[in-house]
Amino acid sequence: MNQEKKYLSSFARRISRKLSPYQKELLDQFLPLVLFNGENFENVLKNYTRAKFEIGFGNGDHILAQAIKNPKTLFIGCEPYLNGVTKVLDEIKNQGLKNILLYPDDARNALEIIEVGVLQTVYILFPDPWPKNKQKKRRVINKETLSMIHEKLCNTGELIIATDHKDYAQSILKDIEEIDLFKFNDENFDIYEQPEYWVKTKYETKALAGRSHYILLVKK
């Protein structure tokens, strides 16, 4: 990871609670076996029909549920929060999951490694809203990131976003309109209506900030 581009950080912390010896062991010994990198991704992808990418998987509720439900799909999960990474590592190890690769850092560096048109779906679920005006430049969803995602998606690729922060949702919709690279999956879809297939995360269940917004997009 020495050649990674330095993006303005979109995350505030790497660790919330001190890591246990077992968590440290997972990071030191098991993470290298499922670590996303360019070579590993190309070799593993050959065994799957499609690839999906999650930016900021938190405690892993969504990516784990999706990987178990869709064993023929490869999932790449990015998360700098190491407590969450160890939780997912533990589940991968205990359940013998083969279709998850993890990148414990900024997702934009991982996206740069992926070839154009490879991804079927990109998920960004409840990213840090950075609500203060001076913080907004740290939001992970902006025109630059949206353009990068568009490039990596296949022709029928989807971008699925959820946020419970109204101002962030409005900012995202404004950026989407201005770059004109995506269209809504369903023009009649209610932005406040949770999709039928949705996997509710622990964060969403707690409803920490407010009403959730669901932005379901398809590459133009």
Q: What is the secondary structure of the chain as a DSSP string?
A: -TT---PPP--S-S-SSPPPHHHHHIIIIIHHHHB--HHHHHHHHTTSSEEEEEE--TTSHHHHHHHHH-TTEEEEEE---HHHHHHHHHHHHHHT--SEEEE-S-HHHHHHHSPTT-EEEEEEES-----SGGGGGG-S-SHHHHHHHHHHEEEEEEEEEEES-HHHHHHHHHHHHHHT-EEES-TT--TTSPPTT----HHHHHT-SS--EEEEEEE-
Active site residues: 128
Q: Which of 212, 172, 169, 214 is nearest to 189 (CA)?
A: 214
The token pair at 153 is: 């998606």
The token pair at 8 is: 């303005």
Q: Which of 175, 127, 112, 172 is nearest to 10 (CA)?
A: 127
